[in-house]
Structure 1
């Protein structure tokens, strides 16, 4: 994960119909531990991490960095949405030297199937359009992760390529702000 770059941070909380997207706070620590310890959440992200280890290493205020939004529902953390720069050494880029803005997300299983991830990611993509005007955003997910593939399509991402990484086929897509639908990949 590479630093997002010079963007105004932290932004004012983003309020959607049902959610608040905000900077991480100390009260989110248990939620971060749950995300990383959950076998369901981490099924396509390298697997769950041991809870005891997370309790030891997760800081008092986890995730406080530019590009990381906590998704809050009724005062409780239900997930995270991130925007980072895709590392140059990894496969999947629009141009060989690019460090594209990359969208990522994790939501607790109790929040699945209710449209919260789509709502939160759409709001963060709108934020990206404001702070990174004209810049495409990429997304990478395992092609075996059906729900993530459907969310990428719903958010307007279009396939650029597939490749092997971390022992599995990865789907790499792009969303170009302001492009006519369907969006065409940047070449």
Structure 2
């Protein structure tokens, strides 16, 4: 299902047919360094991860991680909303293949996701977590208008990460 379009990007729900892309992204060195090892080693593992993660989240929450495609139809990353067990609020998540870093795609997709959250969900705030060493991600969050609000422990990693929050602004009905 289509979520939204921007000037250069399309965001849509992930499908099991996106497993090959997910396998590549989840095993990219930058993903492993900044997000972590999901233990996804095969296309079947990736399909199972998509089913248990994003696809289940769509049914439970009405949102989840979405595939980010360049308008030419090429998958370049993920961006979306995640309801994590250890956070009270919904989290903005994103990850891109390194060949698409530094081109403004992460910002463009995140702006669209935050607008979607404001208009199509009951969320009043969105949070984000980022490893302290991930300066590019921290810079992106600040550019989006997030404010740092301390740190939080990620239980399965037993690691403290920086915690950010943004208050969503609903557009008035005209």
Q: Which TM-score bucket, shorter chain as reference?
A: 0.7 to 0.9
Equivalent residue number for residue 64 of structure 1:
55
Q: RMSD across aligned C-alpha pairs, in angstroms?
A: 2.4
CA deviations on 1:46-90 (whole Å, 9 max, x unpaired) are: 24746xx33332228934341221100110111111212232xx3
Bigger Rg, which one = 1
| 1:171 counterpart (156, 162, 165) | 162
Counterparts of 1:3-152 in structure 2 under 5 Å? 10=1, 12-47=2-37, 49=39, 53-59=41-47, 62=50, 63-65=54-56, 66=58, 67-73=64-70, 74-87=72-85, 90=86, 99-133=88-122, 135-152=124-141
CA contact 2:66–2:78 (8 Å) conserved in 1: yes
Structure 1: state its 5+ residue gaps. Answer: 1-9, 94-98, 180-187
C-alpha change, 1:101 and 1:163, in structure 2 (3 Å) is closer
C-alpha change, 1:101 and 1:61, in structure 2 (3 Å) is closer
C-alpha change, 1:39 and 1:103, in structure 2 (3 Å) is same
CA contact 1:161–1:171 (8 Å) conserved in 2: yes
> How far, CA to CA, are the matches of 2:94 and 2:103 in structure 1?
15
* Structure 1 residue 123 displacement after superposition: 0.2
> How far, CA to CA, are the matches of 1:59 and 1:47 in structure 2?
16
> How far, CA to CA, are the matches of 2:15 and 2:124 in structure 1?
29
> How far, CA to CA, are the matches of 1:154 and 1:177 in structure 2?
15
CA contact 2:107–2:144 (8 Å) conserved in 1: yes
Structure with greater proportional helix content? 2
TM-score by length of 1: 0.74
* Structure 1 residue 30 displacement after superposition: 1.4
* Structure 1 residue 178 displacement after superposition: 2.8
